[in-house]
Chains A and B, each alone.
Chain A
């Protein structure tokens, strides 16, 4: 759960929150591409570090750290597997293997980091708007924002059902793994039935408010790209160009070697 905790939006008004989701998404894509371009440790450390100012400007350190902590477990597994397989192949010396394995888990951390900055600073309604303005079909955008809107409602409902079933003697924490999963069936069924009934009522309400009246829907809000959005996009492009250039024309030294000098 804790990885998702780090991805949940909280309200804020920092300059990062004000950025257009499209610009921020472009930045995430660039981060993604650059991280995949390199499997050496040094550039990945740089990538990790240059994102930290964003986190602090947006004042989402706590959530950010929580998301990293959530990702740490997977990162360790990635490290373990890489270490095991590169080392067992017997072609490389230990320091190289260590560094390479570390780089692989750091790459994962960098991806989580950039996604978490994106989701921590982008409100779902801005995201929905951005989707709409990127010519994603409206039905899809609507489904997205509605899903987000009903998350807290369903969570509360699940809690209520859980309490109700517990008072009737349902024991959730009992038995082996399979048994425990089966314990959740009396909670899932009412939850699903309720969700279906809810969706029918929603459909009725949407129809009653002229859903589908015209192809050319208007929108109360528009997202406009501001100067800061262009700056972010430009920086991202620069980073991308630089990374491609380094990849193609410059050798990337091992971090261990650099530090020893």
Chain B
């Protein structure tokens, strides 16, 4: 089933001189874990904003083309209607937490929707548990570390039980270990709950093992779109400067020096598997 379908999206911010998006078309199926990547300023955040209606409803301007998210035409629905289906987690966790303590923040979206109190209680507990932060429920946001704040931000969106979760560089403020933990949480939501994930990410080394669909953008356009191994091994990805996973890079170097590997590894486990096979071939 198709959850997100964009056709020919073109958008310029009001007062902007350049097109932030240019003829973007993508299709995302239910349950996919999509990584969206590309150089700075290429329009990744703008595309995320299209997915929950911030563009054009909040930012104004005209969005050309068509985008359907869970069957809803984004331009014809209010942001709060879309919020039931699409959750957006922003880059800076600090500015998306506005309550005085965690539990209240996680409840915020449900309160806005007018969900009955017992139901809010249940869903808040569930979201805290899924993101492993039950122990933080009484804390104030400024008493939390970046990684904890980021998990709270995820819980806030998760509590609304969206079909799609869009995360805009959820680990940009974190060290590699913190990033790993966030990826594990997101992957769990993807696998166990079947939530479709769209994640903007630069740390492909860490993130690509969870993904089954990679989209690369450049200058407002989608330049590559497909399975991780195909995208990462393409020449275009290297030229744009996408941080290709080391395992894939290694295989490219080996191929260039004449070693036939047979398939393209993305994670280090796959790489070691492939190398073992090659070594035992003789």
Residues in A lying within 8 Å of B, measured CB to CB: 123-125, 128, 142, 145-146, 148-149, 152-153, 156, 198, 201-214, 216-222
A209-B90 in contact (CB<8A): no
A148 to B141, CA, bound (A): 12
B140-A149 in contact (CB<8A): yes
Q: How far is the CB of B117 from chain A (nearest CB, A)?
A: 6
B112-A148 in contact (CB<8A): no
A218-B111 in contact (CB<8A): yes
A187 to B26, CA, bound (A): 45
Which A residues touch B156, using CB under 8 A?
209
B54-A208 in contact (CB<8A): yes
A117 to B142, CA, bound (A): 25
A220-B120 in contact (CB<8A): yes
A219-B112 in contact (CB<8A): no
B160-A209 in contact (CB<8A): yes
Which B residues touch A205, using CB under 8 A?
90, 95-96, 98
A153-B142 in contact (CB<8A): yes
Q: How far is the CB of A224 from chain B (nearest CB, A)?
A: 13
Q: How far is the CB of B40 from chain A (nearest CB, A)?
A: 18
Which A residues touch B141, using CB under 8 A?
149
Q: How far is the CB of A254 from chain B (nearest CB, A)?
A: 48
Number of A-B pairs, beta carbon distance below 8 Å: 108
A218-B120 in contact (CB<8A): yes
* Residues of B contacting A: mostly: helix
Which B residues touch A221, using CB under 8 A?
104
A198 and B95 in contact, given A209-B160, A220-B104 (Cβ under 8 angstroms) = yes
- Chain B residue at minimal CB-CB distance from A200: B95
Stretch of B15-23, B77-85, B207-215, B259-267 at the chain-chain interface: B77-85
A interface footprint on B163-190 (CB within 8 Å = 1, 0 otherwise): 0000000000000000000000000000
A207 to B120, CA, bound (A): 19
Set A125, A145, A152, A211: member contacting B112, Cβ < 8 A = A211
* B278 beta carbon closer than 8 Å to chain A: no
A selection of 14 A-B contacts at a CB cut-off of 8 Å is A148-B100, A149-B99, A152-B142, A156-B142, A204-B58, A205-B95, A205-B96, A207-B58, A214-B114, A216-B114, A218-B111, A220-B103, A220-B124, A221-B104
A210-B121 in contact (CB<8A): no
- Chain B residue at minimal CB-CB distance from A123: B100
Which B residues touch A214, using CB under 8 A?
112-114
Q: How far is the CB of B55 from chain A (nearest CB, A)?
A: 11
Q: 8 smallest A-B Cβ distances: which pairs?
A: A205-B96, A213-B80, A209-B109, A201-B95, A210-B83, A220-B107, A214-B114, A210-B112
Q: How far is the CB of A49 from chain B (nearest CB, A)?
A: 34
- Chain B residue at minimal CB-CB distance from A142: B98
A210 to B120, CA, bound (A): 14
* B6 beta carbon closer than 8 Å to chain A: no
Task: With a 10 A CB-CB cut-off, give which of A123, A208, A214 has the most chain B CB atoms.
Answer: A208
A219 and B117 in contact, given A210-B80, A210-B160 (Cβ under 8 angstroms) = yes
A220-B121 in contact (CB<8A): yes
Which A residues touch B268, using CB under 8 A?
none
* B146 beta carbon closer than 8 Å to chain A: no
Which B residues touch A204, using CB under 8 A?
54, 58, 90
A interface footprint on B43-77 (CB within 8 Å = 1, 0 otherwise): 00000000010100110000000000000000000
Which B residues touch A219, using CB under 8 A?
111, 117
* B92 beta carbon closer than 8 Å to chain A: yes
- Chain A residue at minimal CB-CB distance from B98: A146
Q: How far is the CB of B101 from chain A (nearest CB, A)?
A: 7
Set A128, A201, A222: member contacting B90, Cβ < 8 A = A201
* B116 beta carbon closer than 8 Å to chain A: yes
- Chain A residue at minimal CB-CB distance from B83: A210
Which A residues touch B88, using CB under 8 A?
208
Which B residues touch A198, using CB under 8 A?
95
Q: How far is the CB of B5 from chain A (nearest CB, A)?
A: 21
A197 to B212, CA, bound (A): 35
A149 to B139, CA, bound (A): 12
- Chain A residue at minimal CB-CB distance from B86: A208
- Chain B residue at minimal CB-CB distance from A205: B96
* B240 beta carbon closer than 8 Å to chain A: no
Q: How far is the CB of A138 from chain B (nearest CB, A)?
A: 9
Which B residues touch A210, using CB under 8 A?
79-80, 83-84, 109, 112-113, 160
Q: How far is the CB of B77 from chain A (nearest CB, A)?
A: 12
Which A residues touch B120, using CB under 8 A?
218, 220
A211 to B96, CA, bound (A): 13
Which A residues touch B87, using CB under 8 A?
208
A124 to B104, CA, bound (A): 13
A149 and B98 in contact, given A201-B92, A218-B120 (Cβ under 8 angstroms) = yes
* B108 beta carbon closer than 8 Å to chain A: yes
Q: How far is the CB of B126 from chain A (nearest CB, A)?
A: 14
